[in-house]
């Protein structure tokens, strides 16, 4: 009887320890990998040139604020379906 209690207590301690590890792990994951920030750039150059030119700015800001900054642009102002056609989509 006493042996069984000892085993149950040990199992309880192990379970609580495992739960604590899981909570710690998921919490640290949340803080280590927040959503990246998006930096959009107006399309005054070609899409390729825009991304190439402004990538150093995105990298610099990522380093300074400790959060990934992802660069975004559109191919140009005028094709239907780009973000600039509709101001709601634009933001």
Partner 1 sequence: MILDAAHFTDYRAQKFGYDILAKMPDSISYSLIIKENGDIHGLDDLVGQTVATLGAPSLGATRLAAIFANPARQPIITNVATTDEAIEKLTQGKIHAAFLPSTDIIRAWSRLANVRVIVTTEPIPEAAISASPRLELSIRKAIQIALLHAAKTDDGRDMLAQLSITGFSPATSQLYAGYSNALKQYWGY
Give the shortest CB-62-to-partner 1 separation in angstroms: 10
Which residues bind to partner 1, rule: CB under 8 A? Answer: 37-46, 49, 53-54, 56-57, 59-61, 63-65, 67, 69, 75-78, 84-87, 90-91
By beta-carbon proximity to partner 1, the closer residue of 14 and 65 is 65
Give the shortest CB-30-to-partner 1 separation in angstroms: 15
Are 84 and 62 spatial neighbours (Cβ–Cβ below 8 Å)?
no
DSSP letter (8 states) at residue 77: S
Give the shortest CB-39-to-partner 1 separation in angstroms: 5
Taking the C-alpha atoms of residue 9 and residue 4, their distance in angstroms, rounded to an integer, is 9
Are 58 and 70 spatial neighbours (Cβ–Cβ below 8 Å)?
yes
By beta-carbon proximity to partner 1, the closer residue of 1 and 32 is 32
Of residues 18, 15, 78, 81, the one with CA closest to residue 43: 78
């Amino acid at each position: 009887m006493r042996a069984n209690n000892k085993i149950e207590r040990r199992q309880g301690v192990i379970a609580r320890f495992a739960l604590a590890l899981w909570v710690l792990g998921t919490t640290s994951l949340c803080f280590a990998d927040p959503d990246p920030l998006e930096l959009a750039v107006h399309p005054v150059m070609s899409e390729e040139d825009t991304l190439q030119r402004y990538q150093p700015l995105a990298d610099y800001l990522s380093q300074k604020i400790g959060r990934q900054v992802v660069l975004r642009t559109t191919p140009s102002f005028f094709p239907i379906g780009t973000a600039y056609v509709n101001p709601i989509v634009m933001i």
